Amino acid sequence: MQVFQHQVLVVGAGLAGLRAAIEAAQKYDVAVISRVHPVRSHSVSAQGGINASLKNHADGKDDSWEKHAFDTVKGSDYLADQDAAIIMAQDAPGCVYEMEHWGTLFSRFPDGRIAQRPFGGAGFPRTCYAADRTGHHLLHTLYEQSLKHQINVYEERLVTNIATENNRCHGLVALNMISGELELYAAPVVIVATGGSGRIYGNSTNALINTGSGAAAAYRAGAQLEDMEFIQFHPTTLLGTNILISEAARGEGGYLLNKDNERFMKKYMPQAMELGPRDIVARSIQTEIDEGRGFPGDYVHLDLRHLGEKKILELLPGIRLLAMDFAGVDPIHEPIPIQPGQHYTMGGIATSNDGHTRVQGLLAAGEAACVSVHGANRLGGNSLLDTLVFGRRSGSEAMRYLNENNPQPDHKLLQNFWEKEEKRIQTLLAGEGQEDYKELRHKMTQTLTHKVGVFRQEKELKEAVDILIGLRKRYPNVKIKNSSRAYNLELINALELEGMLNSAETVALGALNRTESRGSHSRIDFEKRDDGNWLRHTMAAYTEEGPEMSTKDVTITKFQPQERKY
Ligand SMILES: Cc1cc2nc3c(=O)[nH]c(=O)nc-3n(C[C@H](O)[C@H](O)[C@H](O)COP(=O)(O)OP(=O)(O)OC[C@H]3O[C@@H](n4cnc5c(N)ncnc54)[C@H](O)[C@@H]3O)c2cc1C
């Protein structure tokens, strides 16, 4: 058994994980563990941009952090914790300038200042960008910084479980995917920054590695999952593959058209049109499709032709290539066929504004976490910001916790923990189970896609919960055929399925319990927002018999809940 020891272990090498690691590395010995090489994390594929009230745009002179915070809270349908949203909006300009000083090549206005574009649900053009490859540039910048700080990265490791006892964190176990050995990592602080869980759905824009297995490991280790029913469906994903076509396409002036060539958004949001918040635009598209005004095959058109070749080549080169490679259309000459698809996990590991979960020494940041700044609906451009702001804060909180407590991991406990996990892996490799893991996974993704989608109702949600409970009960008996240790994808997939099923159940149960419509959660049997009963976060705690559900107050400080109009 290989044993590694560090003071801080960051799980995940996307923007949140690297930012946390760089912060804590100022003082402590930090290592990052990642399922893939850092620059292959999903952050690399972020397209449209990152929000900050820099006031660089001619129409953005009156912007401010207060207005950014307000748009965020309104966009969240008042479910965001307002103290957290305010911290994020206040820190945003500093974060963007820090990335610029570290080397990010932002697109610029002719006067040399960082360029900004309009984005959905925002009162001013405040989204900073690097063409339509913003995540690529940001992630490469942070990776360079991690090299400069000589942060140790363990790549191609799958963290399967986190060791906690008596509400304290001691370390974790990870499968070395290359050798197949199970490794033990001792550390008094673990920061989980494992990204979203989009792949629990069958129609997601997320990378294949975004299974949510890391957040689920934290959940099984005693942290709570918060607001998991709030799944963002992005309005514009490519027909068939669900690859993202950035909101920047509409930010730059793209139109949405139905089969009658009508700019249908005028019926739903006459003011904001295509630049409404994502939840409402996605519902509008889905309504057009459901009522027969989409094209056969369930899609509508995103038309960029009027923007002209020059603008498309300069500002949207990446999405042009995606449309050509994956849908066979060149947006300079033809409209892009699009449909809504799963895009973002608003919920996640419940944390304080400093990233702490309810377990000592166990922290979380980024899409895996729920601080909560996005509430019931995230605004485009706020997630990259969330990763940097709360990644840094969790790194800083890790230092404080170590300074004040000097916690030491319990090696005896870790040894037992490793042995239990090794036994589980050996059982899987022996291939004696009866259940086909692929069948279970397929049933889960189809259930969420078709029964817990853009529009939801009690009957289907109940069916979904029952199906998912059934799958959870079948999981311990899963079987794989490949018994070798080296790069065994079946083993990796079967191990990750456990966490996917954990998350899926909290999504469906949260959606069933929440008898109102708010943000991305749209119940056709409860069409109204119900602040009296549901201006509350959903909390899920792990038990072997399924999630134990409760609710928690929303923090309201500056902005009183109002009806949301665009
Ligand atoms: C196509 C696309 C475009 C987007 N565009 C934008 C945009 O323009 N603006 C915006 O604000 N947001 C955008 N988003 C959202 C945003 O990019 C993400 O929310 C954000 O980048 C997530 O960063 P993260 O650091 O939390 O996680 P990720 O970047 O997803 O990184 C997760 C890390 O965790 C590791 N990991 C996961 N599970 C395990 C495990 N079990 N063991 C070990 N390692 C593990 C992975 O290897 C990876 O390194 C976009 C998202 C997508 C999918």
Model confidence pLDDT, tens digit, residues 69-90: 999 999 999 999 999 999 999 9
| Alpha-helix residue ranges (DSSP H) falling in 191-234 | 213-220
Q: Are 332 and 159 in contact (CB under 8 A)?
A: no
Q: Say if 561 falls within a structural domain.
A: no
State the distance between the two ends of the chain, measured CA to CA, in whole angstroms: 58
Residue 105 pLDDT: 96
Type and span of the H or E element at 430 = helix 411-430
Q: Are residues 438 and 487 in the same domain?
A: yes
From ligand 1's centre to the CA of 180, what distance in Å? 25
Report how far ligand 1's centroid is from the alpha carbon of 154 (Å).
Answer: 18
Phi and psi angles of residue 539, each rounded to the nearest 5 degrees, phi first: -120, 140
The b-or-e profile of 160-187 (16+ CB within 10 A means b, else e) is bbbbbeeebbbbbbbbbbeebebbbbbb
Sheet holding 255-257, edge to edge: 231-238, 336-345, 300-303, 255-257
364 lies in the same domain as 446 = no
The residues, any chain, with a CB within 8 Å of residue 424's CB and separated by 6 or more, are none
Please give the pLDDT value at position 174: 98
The C-alpha atoms of residue 508 and residue 504 are separated, in whole angstroms, by 6
Q: Which amino acid is at 75?
A: G
Distance 192 CA to ligand 1 centre (A): 12
* Mean pLDDT, residues 201-216 taken together: 97
Any ligand 1 atom below 6 A from CB of 214: yes
On whether residue 267 sits in a domain, the answer given is: yes
Residues 159 and 255 in one domain: no
- Residue that has been written with the tokens 């019931």 in this structure: 376
What is d(CA 269, CA 89) in angstroms, rounded to the nearest whole number? 26
d(CA 5, CA 3): 7
Which pLDDT band holds residue 129 (cuts at 50, 70, 90)? very high
Q: State residue 473's pLDDT score.
A: 97
pLDDT for position 340? 97
Q: Is the CB of 205 under 6 A from ligand 1?
A: yes
Buried-exposed string 4-32: b where 16+ CB fall within 10 A, e elsewhere = bbbbbbbbbbbbbbbbbbbbbbeebebbb
Q: Whose CA is nearest to atom 21 of ligand 1?
A: 43
- Indicate if 75 and 95 belong to the same structural domain: yes
Smallest CA-to-CA distance from 121 within 387, 381, 455, 385 is with 381
* 34, β-bridge pairs: none
Of 151, 199, 384, the residue with max ligand 1 atoms within 8 A of its CB, to mutate for a pocket test, comes to: 384
CA dist 259 and 275 (Å) reads 20
Q: CA 496 to CA 498: how far, in whole Å?
A: 5
In a domain, 557, yes or no: no
Q: Specify whether 278 is catalytic.
A: yes
Specify the ligand 1 atom closest to the Cα of 36: 47
Q: What mean pLDDT is predicted for residues 435-446?
A: 98
Co-location of 450 and 499 in the same domain: yes
Q: How far is the CA of 57 from the centre of ligand 1 (A)?
A: 28
Collapsed DSSP state (helix, strand, coil) of residue 204: strand
Give yes or no: residues 243 and 357 share one domain: no
What's the mean pLDDT in 88-102?
A: 98
Number of Cβ within a 10 Å radius of residue 554: 20
Helix (H) or strand (E) holding 548: strand 548-553
Q: In this structure, what CATH number is given to the domain that contains residue 305? A: 3.90.700.10
CA of 14 to the centre of ligand 1 (A): 6
Same-domain status, 393 and 489 = no
Q: Is the CB of 158 under 6 A from ligand 1?
A: yes
- Whether 555 is in a domain gets the answer no
Residue in this structure with the two tokens 């065994």, named with its chain if needed = 488
Please indicate whether residue 212, judged by its CB atom, sits closer than 6 Å to ligand 1. no
Query: Is 116 close to ligand 1, i.e. is its CB under 6 Å away?
Result: no
Spell out the alpha helix ranges (H) of 81-212.
82-102, 134-148
Is residue 35 lining ligand 1, measured as CB closer than 6 Å?
A: yes
If asked whether residues 62 and 179 sit together in one domain, one would say yes
Query: Is 431 part of any domain?
Result: yes
**C-beta separation of 66 from 131 below 8 A:** no
Which residue among 32, 194, 319 is best mutated to probe the pocket of ligand 1, counting the most ligand atoms within 8 A of its Cβ? 194
Q: Residues 109-118: what's their mean pLDDT?
A: 96
Rounded distance, CA 417 to CA 266, Å?
58
Cis peptide before 372 (omega within 30 of 0): yes
Q: What is the CATH number of the domain that holds 432?
A: 1.20.58.100
Quick: pLDDT tens for 263-300: 999 999 999 999 999 999 999 999 999 999 999 999 99
- Which atom of ligand 1 lies closest to the CA of 205? 53
The active-site residue, picked from 35, 133, 157, 278, is: 278
157-165: strand order across its sheet: 3-5, 182-186, 168-176, 157-165
Q: What is the mean pLDDT of residues 216-222?
A: 98
Give yes or no for a contact between 347 and 520, defined as CB atoms under 8 angstroms apart: no
**Average pLDDT of the residues of the chain:** 97
Secondary element (H or E) of residue 19: helix 15-24
Cα gap 385→52, rounded to integer Å:
8
Does residue 161 sit in the same domain as residue 16? Answer: yes
Residue 398 structural domain: 2-230+346-412
What would the mean pLDDT of 447-458 be, rounded to a whole number? Answer: 98
pLDDT value for 456: 98
Residues 512, 497 share a domain: yes
Domain count, the chain: 3
Q: Which of 384, 412, 440 is the last residue of a domain?
A: 412
- Which residue carries 């792990």 as its tokens? 542
C-beta 12 within 6 A of ligand 1: yes
In a domain, residue 386? The reply is yes
User: What separation in Å is there between the alpha carbon of 32 and the centre of ligand 1?
Assistant: 15
**227-272 tens-digit pLDDT:** 999 999 999 999 999 999 999 999 999 999 999 999 999 999 999 9
Question: What average pLDDT does range 402-407 have in this prediction?
Answer: 96
**Is-contact 471 443, C-beta < 8 A?**
yes
* 3-state secondary structure (DSSP) of residue 540: strand
Q: Whose CA is nearest to atom 47 of ligand 1?
A: 35
Q: What is the DSSP letter of 378?
A: P
Distance between CA 558 and CA 404 in Å, rounded? 32
Rounded to 5°, the CA angle 257-263-266 comes to: 140
CA of 427 to the centre of ligand 1 (A): 32
Interior/surface letters 295-328, b for 16+ CB within 10 angstroms, e for the rest: beeebbbbbbeebeeeebeebbebbbebbeeebe
**Ligand 1 centroid from CA 367, angstroms:** 7
Is residue 543 one of the residues assigned to a domain?
Answer: no
Q: Indicate the pLDDT class of residue 326, thresholds 50, 70 and 90.
A: very high
Among the three residues 341, 374, 395, which one is the final residue of a domain in this structure? 341
For residue 51, being part of any structural domain is answered with yes
CATH of the domain at 406: 3.50.50.60
Q: Is the CB of 204 under 6 A from ligand 1?
A: no
135: Cβ below 6 Å to ligand 1?
yes
In terms of domains, do 50 and 191 share one?
yes
DSSP assignment of 466-527? HHHHHHHHHGGGEE-S----TT-HHHHHHHHHHHHHHHHHHHHHHHHH--S-BTTBEETTB-
Q: What is the pLDDT of residue 286?
A: 96
Q: 341, 368, 402 — which closes off a domain?
A: 341
**For ligand 1, is residue 402 a contact (CB within 6 Å)?**
no
Mutate to test the pocket of ligand 1, among 146, 176, 383, 497 (most ligand atoms within 8 A of CB): 383
Nearest-angstrom CA–CA distance, 359 and 363: 8
* pLDDT tier at 331, thresholds 50, 70, 90: very high
- Is the Cβ atom of 209 under 6 angstroms away from ligand 1? yes
Q: Are residues 61 and 197 in the same domain?
A: yes
What's the pLDDT score for residue 353? Answer: 98
Ligand 1 centroid – CA 45 distance (Å): 8
Burial class (CB in 10 A: 0-12, 13-18, 19+), 266: exposed
Q: Which of 561, 507, 559 is nearest to 534 (CA)?
A: 561
141 lines ligand 1 (CB under 6 A): no
Q: Which residues contact 566 (CB under 8 A, 6 or more apart)?
A: 121, 269, 271, 272, 276, 277, 280
The stretch 462-475 carries a mean pLDDT of: 98
pLDDT value of position 15:
98
